[in-house]
Structure 1
Amino acid sequence: MKTRWSKYSLAASVALLLSACATGPVIDTSYVSQNQDSRALFLVLHYTVIDFEKSLRVLTTGGQVSSHYLVRDEPPTIYRLVDENRRSWHAGASSWTGHTNLNASSIGIEIVNAGYVDGPNGRVYAPYPQKQIDQVIALCKDIIARHKIRPERVIGHADIAPGRKQDPGPMFPWKQLADAGVIPWPDEAKLDAKRAEYAAKELPPAEWFQERLAKVGYALPKSGEIDTATKETLATFQMKYRPSDFAGKPDSETAALLDVVTSPGGMVLKGEADQPPRPYTSRW
């Protein structure tokens, strides 16, 4: 009889132990530290280069790539593919303001867009439907509000991988995002003054362009020459702030833009519709 009860006791103990392992430890959540913020520090915008059906298949199956959101073009619809608390595989090898491997610290938005085609007259980029852009802006505002993402950290895939990536491309209306208060934008009055200043003097040396691009946030070696990496980074910068000409060549207008973008008070951020733009200083 003693042996039988010992067996029962042992079995009960094992069952209780397994039950405890299955449920995990009891955790008291009464206390919450004030010293914290979101793991999502960046918001990265992409285009898919393929149509919606193919985009959905690639982003949700075994293609080794994903994003938190997919914004369809027709009808304009927002799909969540990866929970924001989990890492999606959208950024790849990436760097911005010294932060690397941005998959771990960003939320990715893929936008259905054909990207570009190379034809006899050169490369032609596809436009974005306005209703789709409206959805992108609404989604950005929602994510930014919940994660307190800084305006200068709303960036394109090309920004974090210049040369390797071009998206969301020169047809993406960054100025609309600025007008909606999502990102800061160069102050027009200061930019006009700098345009005149740089047009009247000799162009700064290669080192100056490289230093300013690095100050914006790009990972760029300071070679002292307008090398391939510098041209690709210049083209990426121009694609955002001067999409009419993004050949990657240093010129007086690009110098003026770089000066304003990297100078205190050179950027402005719009608030509500009844509030004027206010000077914005990056907290990089």
Structure 2
Amino acid sequence: MLVIDTSFPSKDFNERNGEAVRQLILHYTAAPFGSSLRTLTRDGVSAHYLLPDPDEPSYRAAGYEELRVFRLVNEDQRAWHAGVSQWGGRDNLNSRAIGIEIVNLARDDGGVFTFPAYAEEQIEVLIALVRDILGRYPQIGPSDILGHSDVAYWRKSDPGPRLPWQRLHEAGIGAWFDESTRAMYQRRFCLGLPPEVEVERAFQRYGYKPAQNRWAFEQRTRAFQMHFRARDYGGFLDAQTCAILYALNEKYRCL
């Protein structure tokens, strides 16, 4: 059951200035519920929704029994969650996106990341929330439901590799590749990867920002892998990663 709580409105938002909503961006907070709520309502950043972890101590300490979703900014307003970002050749995504922050205590210890699993109830409520949003914004296509790391791969890792993107897709949320198409491309690419200039075009065709150097190329590959091949997200471009990318383009970018 989806329970929306509007008791903590954020002061940090502005107008969309006529921009239609086109993307939905998922984040993790990397902080407990209590501090996440303070940050998203008082500290110059915000999101439309905050989804707590039902087992996280500060949520229980706040007196909540059931898992509820906190709407901090109305959907017709521009929340400040994506920052410097780009998708499909366009930046300023805050003007066109709805942002959902999910409480998860991911940690970055000097470049060594720890990504805890999401609670089962969180995923169930996330599915209900996104379905509810998509009912109002049918123009948000599968390949426009994204992680923060997809649209800002050079600086962000959220929502991390533990978000079950394939399960979301099976629930009607977001993009996923067809396995048979992936296998066909992988057989081909095991004989040799496409030239890097072609892979660059394929990433851009799907929506990712161009990579200006080797480091950016690896960070973008890492972000893509966290989304579509979470078991191995080292940023190394291999036959399977290329196959997934080409399969996604064939499915969603055929026009």
TM-score of the two chains, using structure 2 as the length reference = 0.83
> Structure 1 residues 206, 282: closer, same or farther in 2, change over 3 A?
closer
- How far is 1:205 from its partner? 2.3
The residue type paired with residue 144 of structure 1 is L
| Among 27, 50, 68, the residue aligned to 1:70 | 50
SS across alignment from 1:262: helix
> Quick one: distance in 2 between partners of 1:214 and 1:156?
16
Of the structure 1 ranges 74-83 and 151-160, higher mean CA displacement relative to structure 2 is found in: 74-83
State the distance in 2 between where 1:154 and 1:76 align: 23
Partner amino acid for 1:189?
A: S
Aligned equivalent of 2:70 = 79
1:1-284 correspondence runs (5 A): 39-61=20-42, 63-74=43-54, 76-118=67-109, 122-148=112-138, 149-199=140-190, 201-221=191-211, 227-263=214-250, 266=251, 281-282=252-253
Instruction: Answer with 1 or 2: which has the greater Rg.
Output: 1
Distance 2:182 2:254 in 1: 21
- Structure 2 counterpart SS, 1:181: coil
Root mean square deviation, CA, Å: 2.0
3-state DSSP of counterpart to 1:245: coil
* Compared CA separation, residues 283 and 257, structure 1 to 2 (3 A): closer
Alpha-carbon distance in structure 1 between the residues aligned to 2:113 and 2:176: 27
The Cα of 1:259 is off from its aligned counterpart by: 1.3
- The C-alpha deviation readout for 1:186-205, integer Å capped at 9, x for no partner, is 00111122222211x12222
Distance 1:52 1:183 in 2: 26
Q: Name the SS of the counterpart of 2:210 in structure 1.
A: coil
Q: How far apart are residue 219 of structure 1 and its match?
A: 0.8
Report SS of the residue matched to 1:185: coil
8 Å Cα contact 2:51/2:101 also seen in 1: yes
Q: CA deviation at 1:53?
A: 0.3
Partners of 1:210 and 1:221 within 8 A in 2: yes
- Supply the distance in 2 between the matched residues of 1:258 and 1:216 (Cα, whole angstroms): 8
Q: Quote the offset at 1:38 in angstroms.
A: 7.5
Per-residue CA deviations over 1:188-230 (Å, capped at 9, x if unaligned) read: 111122222211x12222212211111110111466xxx0110
Question: Does the 8 Å contact 2:206/2:253 carry over to 1?
Answer: no
Q: CA deviation at 1:163?
A: 2.2
For residues 173 and 218 of structure 1, what CA distance do their matches in structure 2 show?
Answer: 20
**1:5 alignment counterpart:** none
Contact 1:98 1:217 in 2 (8 A): yes
Structure 2: unaligned runs, 5 residues or longer: 1-17, 55-65
CA drift of 1:151 comes to 1.7
Q: 1:218 to 1:142 in 2, by over 3 A?
A: same
Task: Describe the SS at the equivalent of 1:171.
Answer: coil
Asked if the contact 1:157–1:167 (Cα under 8 Å) also holds between the matched residues in 2, the reply is: yes
Secondary structure of the 1:215 match is helix
- The number of aligned residues is 226
Runs of 4+ in 1 over 6 A off after TM superposition: none
